[in-house]
Every structure is written in structure tokens, then in C-alpha cells.
Amino acid sequence: PKTNDLILKSMREQAQIAIELAHVVIFLVDAKDGLTDADGAVADMLRRAKKPVVLAVNKLDNMRDISPIYEFYQLGIGDPMPISAELGLGIGDMLDAVVSHFPKGLEEEEEDDRLKVAVIGKPNTGKSSLINRLIGQNRVIVSDIAGTTRDAIDTPVTHNGKDYILIDTAGIRRQSKVTEDIERFSVMRAVAAVERADIVILMIDAVTGITEQDAKIAGIAHDNGKACIIAVNKWDAIEKDDHSLTEFNKDIDTVLSYLTYAPKIYISVKTGQRVDKLFDLIDQVERAASLRVPTGALNDMLYEATSLQQPPSDKGRQLRIYYMTEVSVKPPTFVIFVNSQKLMHFSYQRYLENWLRKTFDFTGTPIKFIIRERQQLEDRF
């Protein structure tokens, strides 16, 4: 029984997270099992969430007899729709019902060429308050309770004639009783926001310091290849001496060792300290993420770098680097042609990345390398 209770608790938590993140919910019930207490519990959860629901009654393999659906009207969440997932019956009608609930403008979102900036971070780091500062009005409802932002909000703002979309990663709809729930929500919402963003601002709380949860959320931006800015908030709320900034920088670089390319800015959303400098930093990072370097300039740099430190060798065979070229941006991606992929050690890739960053302005953006053997090039062409 205890095991079953744990499984049910886990299922409820996962369902709650899915409901919170969804535009529309498909509630799938089983015609053969009939209406169950568990169905009633989920229906109660859906009513509280106030999200559009499509109630699908599965395992109706005979559409000439849909009488098993009628008892599901008792759930009070709309008309049940008969389907058979196994036979593919009723699926089209179900999907039409789902699409009818999509928010207007959802399909056009990809065509929006405004720069999208996601503000991410663990709960109560000041994400929504920062956006309020940047737009100059109290549009996002916030409080001191972790996870009180009401909904994910896209806020358009124009600064010095340039248009931006600020994406606030919403908090939980109501205060969670379990800290792990709060953290799980913040991570899942960060994923959704980061995937849509061009640039990510990672908020860190100066009072609590850099934490494992910060690292988990920062990793989402890095893994998605997004340009990133680290904003340390509440800098006014801690006691400082001549070494405070240096020590905090070291702490960040230790915990977020994969994110050392991200510029750091120490701000106070409460007082507005240095918040006005964020737009300039956003623009700088956006230029870096979009930078295209001519192949000639790249190979001049490559010649200098390989002259100062010879490529590695193994068992008498030395790595030869023929040339490199940039193939895409956001993030800047470079193909390096070599005689052997196996000889291109990670440490030498890091060496070349450092040269790229020293020679060109790639502030705030990750850099991606694709290593290709010359034979692969000859085979391709």
C-alpha cells in the first residue's frame, strides 16, 4: 500500500506539472474500466487549474456503440469524445478539438523577429521584478513568496528604437508545500522559455549565493546553445569589502565552469542599480551570437594559434589542421578540417576556442566545433 501511495503521489505531481505547463489538456480515460475514483480526482485537479480540457474516452473499438462514454459526463469537464487509439478512430476529431483551444497568435510566434530575452533563475531571485524595472511599470504580479508569478508572460518593450520580447518564466500558481515541487516547476518552465529565447539572463541571488539549483538552470541555457548573461541580484543587500566582487566571481566560475563566457553584472532590482546597463549588454551579446567571421580571418588566427602551440600527437602521428570555416550562428558554429578526428583532443579544442574569443568578440555566446576529417570532405564532394 505504501508503494502504491508513493506511485499515486508521483503521478499527481507529474500531472500537476504537465497541467501547469500546457495550453490545452487531453484527459484520457478508459471506456473498459469505466468511471473510477482516480478519474474524479484528476477531474477535480483540472477544474482548479482552469485550463481547456478535451475529455477523450479510449478503447471504443466499435463507434456504432458509444454508450460507454455517457457516464463520463459526471466528471463535469465537458463532452466526452469517443476514440480508439489502437485503431486510430476518432483521433482527428479529438485533435481538431485540441487545436480549437490554442491561444490566438500561437502559430505566428515563430515569425516574430523581435529579440527574445528569457529571464530565468530559481524562485524568488527577482525575475519578474527585473522585467518590471526594464519596462518601467508593474505589469507582472510579484510578491516575496517563492513562485508567486501568476503566468508565463511575454512582455514587449522598445529601448532606443529596438524592439525586444522579455520572457518571464512563471512561478507556481500557488505556493507549493514541497520545495522539490517548486524546483521542478522552475526547471521545467526554464526549459520552455530558453527554447524560445535568443538570449538568456540567468538571475542569481547574492544573498543565498550560487547554488546547485542555479547550476541546473544555467545548464539548460548552455545545453541549448543560447547566449547568456549572468545577473547577480540583491547586490545591495549584502555586506561587501574590497574582495567581495572577486570572490563572488570565483564562486560563479567554480560552480558554472561551463559558462565562463557569460558576462556578469551585479545589480539591485530594488534600487535600480546598474539595471539600465542590461540593454547594452543584451545588444553586445546578441551581436556576438550572430557574428560571422570571414574564412580568411579565421585561418589567419588558426595559423597564429597553431604556430604558438603545436597540435597534439599520438604514437608518432601528429594532428594536422587544414583550415576552419564558420557554418552557422546562434551559436557560432565552426567546422575544422583535420587529418584525424581522434587526434583532436578536447584540450586543444579549448585552446582554439580561447584564441577565437581573444581575437573576436564572442562575449556571452557558446561556441560549437564540428571536427571533420579531410577524407570525409573528399568523400562528400
CA atoms within 13 A on the CB side of 246: 3
- Identify the pLDDT of residue 307: 95
Secondary structure (H, E, C), 216-244? HHHHHHHHCCCEEEEEEECHHHCCCCCCH
User: Which CATH code for domain 295-380?
Assistant: 3.30.300.20
Q: Of 174, 154, 62, 161, which is closest to residue 109 (Cα–Cα)?
A: 154
Q: Which amino acid is at 165?
A: I
Q: What is the pLDDT of residues 121-132, one digit of tens each?
A: 888 888 888 998
Taken in order 263, 265, 269, 274, is the CA torsion positive or negative? negative
Residue 310: partners with Cβ closer than 8 Å, 6 or more residues away: 318
Which residues make up the CATH 3.40.50.300 domain(s) of the chain?
2-100, 112-289
Q: Which CATH class is domain 2-100?
A: alpha beta
Range with the lowest mean pLDDT among 84-93, 144-153, 324-333? 144-153
What 8-state DSSP symbol labels residue 273? Answer: B
C-alpha cell at 249: 566571481
Return d(Cα 102, Cα 368) in angstroms, integer: 36
Range with the lowest mean pLDDT among 116-125, 129-138, 178-187, 351-360? 178-187
Contact 12, 177 (CB under 8 A): no
Q: Are strands 264-266 and 313-314 parallel, antiparallel or unpaired?
A: unpaired
Return d(Cα 68, Cα 264) in angstroms, integer: 60
Return d(Cα 227, Cα 100) in angstroms, integer: 35
Which residues make up the CATH 3.30.300.20 domain(s) of the chain?
295-380
The fold adopted by the segment(s) 112-289 is Rossmann fold (3.40.50)
